[in-house]
Amino acid sequence: MKIKVQSLDQTKKIAALFASSLDKDGLFVTLTGDIGAGKTQFVRYVLEYLNINKKVTSPSFVILNEYKSPLFPIYHFDLYRLEKKGLDSIILELREYSKTGVLTFIEWAEFAHGEIPKNALRINVQYDNNNLDIRYFNFSSLDEANYKFIEKFQKRIKDEHLSNMLCFE
């Protein structure tokens, strides 16, 4: 499912609908896309909706940020500066945090190549070269449960009369 957002505020709305579709099972999410596309911004808005008030940074050197929520523990990996050595040391954590009951975001998942568990819900973010306020968020998954989550999320977008953001191609 691909969404065209035309402003930062619309990104915030979409992130809130995404967060409101979550239940206590959590979700294992990978984020890919160009630098500056809006991956950290999306995570920040999801956490804001979940009332996590500890500041979320876009960590250059910190690989993992951890947050507490009454619903589930939340982990935000940023693999941008990860080296081969570092990848070996976090493989177990990646597996552990892909289990149910945890909300995990893996930003720059492309740097972990084959080590990302296959059940991920994948978000790819791209910007429009002609208008930098416009961003495309593409949600996909090979996992059936995650696919159901995407359907639930899509229904909320429709219920909020935001269908004009959905792209069909």
Ligand X SMILES: Nc1ncnc2c1ncn2[C@@H]1O[C@H](COP(=O)(O)OP(=O)(O)O)[C@@H](O)[C@H]1O
State which residue, 37 or 157, has the beta carbon closest to Mg ion.
Answer: 37
Work out whether 133 is an interface residue with ligand X (CB under 6 A): yes
**Options 95-103, 112-120, 125-133, 158-166: segment touching ligand X (CB under 6 A):** 125-133
Structure tokens at 144: 């059936």
Nearest-angstrom CA–CA distance, 40 and 48: 12
Place of tokens 């589930």: 72
**Options 2-10, 20-28, 83-91, 115-123: segment touching ligand X (CB under 6 A):** 2-10
Question: For 116, which DSSP code?
Answer: S
Structure tokens at 94: 């990646």
Q: What angle do CA 27, 145, 141 make, to 5 degrees?
A: 75
SS3 call for 128? strand
Note whether 120 and 95 are within 8 A (CB). no
Binding mask 83-122 for ligand X (x = CB under 6 A): ----------------------------------------
**Options 35-43, 84-92, 142-150, 154-162: segment touching ligand X (CB under 6 A):** 35-43
* Contact residues: ligand X, CB under 6 A: 5, 7-8, 11, 33, 35-41, 58, 125, 132-133, 135
* Contact residues: Mg ion, CB under 5 A: 39-40, 58
